[in-house]
Structure 1
Amino acid sequence: MKAKRILIAIFSMVVIASMALTACGGNTAGGSGKTKIGLSFSDFATERWKNEEVLMRSLLEEKGYEVISAEANHDVKLQNDQIDNMVSQGVKGLIVVAEDGDAIVTSVDKAADAGVKVIAYDRLIKTSKIAAYLSFDNVEVGRQQALGVMAAIDADNWDVDANGPARVVQLAGSPTDNNATLFTKGQTEILQPYVDSGKIEIVAQQGVENWDAANALKLMENILTAQNNDIDAVVASNDGTALGALQAMKAQGLAGVVPISGQDATADGSNSIVKGELTVSILKDIRNLSPLAIDVMDKLIKGEAVEGMKNFSLAELTVDDTKTGEVPCVFLQVQQVNKGNVYDLVVKSGFQSYDDVYRDIPESERPAKP
Structure 2
Amino acid sequence: MFRSKSIKLIGLLVLAVMVIGACTPAAATPAEAEAMEAEAEAPAAEEMAPSEKTIIGLSFSDFATERWKNEEVLMRGLLEDKGYEVLSAEANHDVKLQNDQIDNMVTQGASVIIVIAEDGDAAATAVASAAKAGAKVIAYDRLIKSPDIAAYISFNNVAVGYNQADGVMKALDVENWDVAANGPARVVKMGGSPTDNNAILVRQGQDEILDPLVEAGKIEIVADQWVDNWDAAKAVTLMENILASIGNDVDAVVASNDGTALGALQALKAQGLAGVVPISGQDATADGCNSIVKGELSVTVFKDIRELSPLAVELADQLAKGETPDLEMYTLAELTLNDALTGEVPCKFLPVVQVTKDNVYDVVVKSDFQAYDEVYRDIPDAEKPPKP
Q: Structure 2-normalised TM-score?
A: 0.87
Alignment partner for residue 278 of structure 2, among 259, 266, 272?
259
2:202: which partner in 1?
183
1:53-92 equivalences under 5 Å are 53-92=72-111
**2:344 partner amino acid:** E
Give 3-state SS (helix, strand or coil) of 1:92's partner.
strand
Alignment partner for residue 221 of structure 2, among 186, 202, 210?
202
Question: Displacement of 1:148 after TM fit?
Answer: 0.3
2:243: which partner in 1?
224
1:310: which partner in 2?
328
1:124 maps to 2:139: no
1:354: which partner in 2?
372
1:299: which partner in 2?
318
Question: Displacement of 1:306 after TM fit?
Answer: 2.2
2:263: which partner in 1?
244
1:173 maps to 2:183: no
2:153: which partner in 1?
134
| Cα distance between partner residues in 1 of 2:170 and 2:219 | 13
| Cα distance between partner residues in 2 of 1:236 and 1:135 | 20
1:108: which partner in 2?
127
**1:362 partner amino acid:** P
| Cα distance between partner residues in 2 of 1:119 and 1:206 | 30
Question: Displacement of 1:265 after TM fit?
Answer: 0.2
1:274-285 equivalences under 5 Å are 274-285=293-304
Q: What count of residue pairs does the alignment treat as equivalent?
A: 346
1:159 maps to 2:178: yes
| Cα distance between partner residues in 1 of 2:221 and 2:62 | 32
Deviation string, structure 1 residues 51-109 (Cα, Å, up to 9, x no partner): 11111111111111100110000000100111111111111000000000001111111
1:332: which partner in 2?
350
Q: Look at both structures and tell me which one has the larger radius of gyration over its CA atoms.
A: 2
Question: Displacement of 1:187 after TM fit?
Answer: 0.3
Deviation string, structure 1 residues 132-178 (Cα, Å, up to 9, x no partner): 00100000000000000111111122111111000000000011111
Deviation string, structure 1 residues 107-132 (Cα, Å, up to 9, x no partner): 11100111111000000000000000
| Cα distance between partner residues in 2 of 1:297 and 1:232 | 46
| Cα distance between partner residues in 2 of 1:167 and 1:322 | 34
Q: List alignment gaps of at least 5 residues for structure 2.
A: 1-39
| Cα distance between partner residues in 2 of 1:272 and 1:54 | 26
1:25: which partner in 2?
none
**1:311 partner amino acid:** M
Give 3-state SS (helix, strand or coil) of 1:220's partner.
helix
**2:122 partner amino acid:** A
Q: Cα RMSD over matched residues? A: 1.5
Q: List alignment gaps of at least 5 residues for structure 1.
A: 1-10, 20-29
Question: Displacement of 1:305 after TM fit?
Answer: 3.5
Q: Which moved more, 1:243-252 or 1:157-166?
A: 157-166
Deviation string, structure 1 residues 267-314 (Cα, Å, up to 9, x no partner): 00000000000000000000100000000111112232323x100110
Alignment partner for residue 146 of structure 1, among 135, 152, 165?
165
Give 3-state SS (helix, strand or coil) of 1:327's partner.
strand
**2:377 partner amino acid:** R
Instruction: Give structure 1 regions of 4+ aligned residues with deviation exceeding 6 angstroms.
Output: none
| Cα distance between partner residues in 1 of 2:246 and 2:368 | 40
| Cα distance between partner residues in 2 of 1:364 and 1:208 | 38
2:22: which partner in 1?
none
Give 3-state SS (helix, strand or coil) of 2:357's partner.
coil
Deviation string, structure 1 residues 235-282 (Cα, Å, up to 9, x no partner): 000000000000000011110000000000000000000000000000
| Cα distance between partner residues in 2 of 1:207 and 1:183 | 12
2:211: which partner in 1?
192
Deviation string, structure 1 residues 338-358 (Cα, Å, up to 9, x no partner): 000000000010000000000
| Cα distance between partner residues in 1 of 2:324 and 2:129 | 24
Deviation string, structure 1 residues 2-49 (Cα, Å, up to 9, x no partner): xxxxxxxxx9xx99xx79xxxxxxxxxx72200001100000111011
Q: What is the identity percentage for the equivalent residue pairs of Structure 1 and Structure 2?
A: 71
1:235: which partner in 2?
254
| Cα distance between partner residues in 2 of 1:211 and 1:60 | 28
**2:278 partner amino acid:** P
| Cα distance between partner residues in 2 of 1:86 and 1:305 | 22
